[in-house]
Amino acid sequence: MKKSNPKTNRPAETHQTTDSPAHTLRTNQGIPIADNQNSLKAGTRGPVLLEDFILREKITHFDHERIPERIVHARGSGAHGYFQCYESCADITKAAFLQNPKTKTEVFTRFSTVAGGAGSGDMPRDVRGFAVKFYTQEGNFDLVGNNVPVFFIQDAMKFPDLVHAVKMEADRGFPQAASAHDTFWDFISLTPESMHMVTWIMSDRTIPRSLRMMEGFGVHTFRMINAKGQSHFVKFHWRPTIGSASVIWDEAVKINGADPDFHRRDLWEAIESGNFPEWELGLQVFDQKTADNLDFDVLDPTKIIPEEIIPLRMIGKMVLNRNVDNFFAETEQVAYCPANIVPGIGFSHDPLLQGRLFSYLDTQLSRLGGPNFHQIPVNAPRCPFHNQQRDGMHQMQVPKGRANYEPNSIDPTSPRENPSFGYKPFIEEMMGEKTTLRTETFADHYSQARLFYRSLTEPEQRHLASALGFELAKVELPPIRHRMLGHLEHIDPALQQAVETALGLEGQADKIQPFIKPRTLPPSHALSLLKKAPATLKGRKLGILIADGFDATLLTALRTAAKAEKAAVAIIAPKIGGATDSTGKLTAPNLSLSGAPSIFFDAVVILTGAESVKELATQAAAVDWVRDAFGHLKVIGHTGEAQPLLDRAGLAPDEGVIALADAKSVSRFIKQAKNGRIWEREPKLRSPG
């Protein structure tokens, strides 16, 4: 890893300064600000200093902007469960909950969108929060991350600016839960360090099929310390056991309109039905020597460590097996903080992480009404805890005794510090000048963005380019679009060309001069959802549309086959009263056609009679049901009697449209559905991008 020069600072590629006192940025106390880009650290790679009053004022004000709703991650869904390690991790950490494979540690996990308010929908193109509270025997450990492994910014100083930019524009109060507007892309186009994150947020990762099919990441580099005092760096990864999957954009838009609670409902119903969501916890473990030999800085939260360089060590599994009893009391009042750690886990000097250690606690004081929010049941440790903190708003405990201070000689039974059991940080020598300079090891903004884009499959690359075209077309100010096109050239010329063509702005990109020339890195198989997608229907949902005269034996065969694959089945009929099979027996559906568009399902089947299909073919809801399933690249099974409906929807036969007549054809349908979407179909369609 290159060493930075602490005597010099590099200007941002689009850094904006002024010599005019009238236009000088100042604190709320009127103190002029020299550097609004970097927090004060002990050396360019050192920890952030508490004395940085500019950082503290800026984040404190930001944290208290709204109450009681969270400023970010307001729209959330949560569930209870447990975590169990596979084997002792004593070689890397002394954390008690990672020592005994027989120990089940209670957890509460909350998933969320970032940009929208609590009343927004589940399916915007947005980063998803992935926060897990472990109630360990040594206290609460909060692993607070996202469903992408990097972030927009390198320093917490910029977090209020980022969120202000992506939220509803200040003068007009819209758009809600959307990044496709001027203020967001203005900020991003002036912040080259965001380019890696841009490729992730414009990818399919930010429109997940289900919270159950979503990866999670700790984002930052953390430490683990074992009983011998030895330290290792770690990166946290959550991997769903049923595999990851996303929807496509046209589908996401329609889902948000048809059921804005789609993700929340899906999680709730899966747990209620006993199909408990599961994730494995993986670690990338490395030492200081390895970190020093990497060609990027592990303290930079805009970078990943490819799994080809440091593979994952899978250490345990999380199972969510209980829904909340009360949404407000639990999901809404749960308070996570990355500073909540247990002995055996520690921090790195990542400047974004260092700012988060302050910010979360501060914002919870406002949101939850005072310093005693830890007494709310969902936040309370499951182990005994005692201290000399007293009073405050919403105090629900009744401490006894005369001594509320330490040390004291009045009450020998009052709690005391414990040098042998208590938390101790990893001891390391730190030297450096007090500075706001940013290390030059953070300066490569494009190489890993290129790595991510070039690691994707062709359909994923096409979706990313289409997303950028959609978002930038919503931008009103041409200079913003031109700047972004200039950045895209450094990520990949083919990506820039695709977006330019989509916008009709060929040759209008700004010339951006990067601080470090982008490098071409080896592709990483693990970065593509499609390359590592398992062939499975486990946890997926099959939608079967029935109409009068349908073949009941085929319906039974489909249900049996889906159950064997651990997939859910929903029966849909034109009306909620049901449909009669070919023998005249009435079958009650789960849903009616008008309330169950095909966007809700991973694969679909149409079972009709020769007469009932004639009526279906005249109904817009039925035609759209089939047309959307085909347009969203899903596998479609159908009986011969259903052909008039397929013809009315304009389906072109391909390997994903399968005629059903017997058990053998049902097996063929299931096998094809396990492979997921028919990506070869997409280029032939005008929709969706």
Host H or E run for residue 134: strand 128-136
User: 303 — phi, psi (to 5°)?
Assistant: -125, 150
- Spatial CB neighbours of 493, under 8 Å, sequence gap ≥ 6: none
**Which value, in Å, is the radius of gyration of the alpha carbons in the chain?**
27
- Token digits for 149? 């492994």
Q: How far apart are CA 112 and CA 145, in angstroms?
A: 10
Q: What is the pLDDT of residue 6?
A: 40
Q: What mean pLDDT value characterizes the chain?
A: 93
Residue 380 near residue 374, CB atoms below 8 Å: yes
- What digits encode the pLDDT tens for the residues 35-50? 888 898 898 988 898 8
- Let me know how many helices (H) and strands (E) the chain has, helices first: 17, 20
User: Read out DSSP for 604-666?
Assistant: EEEE--TTHHHHHTT-HHHHHHHHHHHHTT--EEE-GGGHHHHHHHTPPP-TTEEE--SHHHH
d(CA 70, CA 364): 9
Among residues 9, 38, 73, 463, which one is catalytic? Answer: 73
For residue 24, what pLDDT band results from cuts at 50, 70 and 90? confident
Average pLDDT over residues 198-203: 98
Residue 67's pLDDT is 53
pLDDT at 5: 42
Please give the single-letter amino acid code of residue 413. Answer: T
Instruction: Tell me: pLDDT of 452 over 80.
Output: yes
Least confident of 388-397, 601-610, 654-663: 388-397
pLDDT of residue 1: 44
Asked if 586 and 621 touch (Cβ cutoff 8 Å), the reply is: no
Backbone phi and psi for residue 131, each to the nearest 5 degrees, phi listed first: -120, 130
Which residues is 113 bridged to in the sheet?
Answer: 128
112: number of Cβ within 10 Å: 26
What are the beta bridge partners of residue 42?
Answer: 434
**Tokens encoding 340:** 């909540």
521-567 pLDDT, tens per residue? 999 999 999 999 999 999 999 999 999 999 999 999 999 999 999 99
**Ramachandran region of residue 103, left (φ > 0), alpha (ψ -120 to 50) or beta?**
beta
Which pLDDT value is given to residue 336? 95
- Mean pLDDT in residue range 583-598: 96
- Residue 395: predicted pLDDT: 86
pLDDT at 351 over 50: yes
Sequence-distant (≥ 6) Cβ neighbours of residue 77 within 8 angstroms: 110, 111, 112, 211, 263, 264, 267, 268, 331
Q: Is 146 a catalytic residue?
A: yes
Q: What is the pTM of this model?
A: 0.91
Which domains occur in the chain, in start order? 1-156+220-395+403-441 (2.40.180.10), 541-684 (3.40.50.880)
> Model confidence over 205-221: pLDDT tens digits?
999 999 999 999 999 99
Q: Please name the amino acid found at residue 446.
A: Y
Name the strands in the sheet holding 636-638, side by side, starting at the edge strand that comes first in the sequence: 591-592, 568-573, 541-546, 603-607, 636-638, 657-659
User: What is the distance between the alpha carbons of residues 231 and 237, in angstroms, rounded to a whole number?
Assistant: 19
CA dihedral 596, 601, 607, 610 (to 10 degrees): 60
pLDDT tops 80 at residue 688: no
Q: Which listed residue (146, 323, 340, 372) is catalytic?
A: 146
Name the least confident of 222-236, 321-335, 395-409, 447-461. Answer: 395-409
Yes or no: say if 73 and 112 are a contact pair by the CB < 8 Å rule: yes
Distance (Å, whole) CA 158 – CA 189: 14
Residue 124 burial (10 A CB sphere; 0-12, 13-18, 19+):
buried
SS3 356: helix
Out of 258-272, 377-391, 469-483, pick the least confident. 377-391
pLDDT at site 3: 43
393/389 Cα distance (integer angstroms): 12
E strands, 377-463, are 434-435
**What's residue 73's pLDDT?**
92
Let me know: does 548 contact 579? Beta carbons within 8 Å.
yes
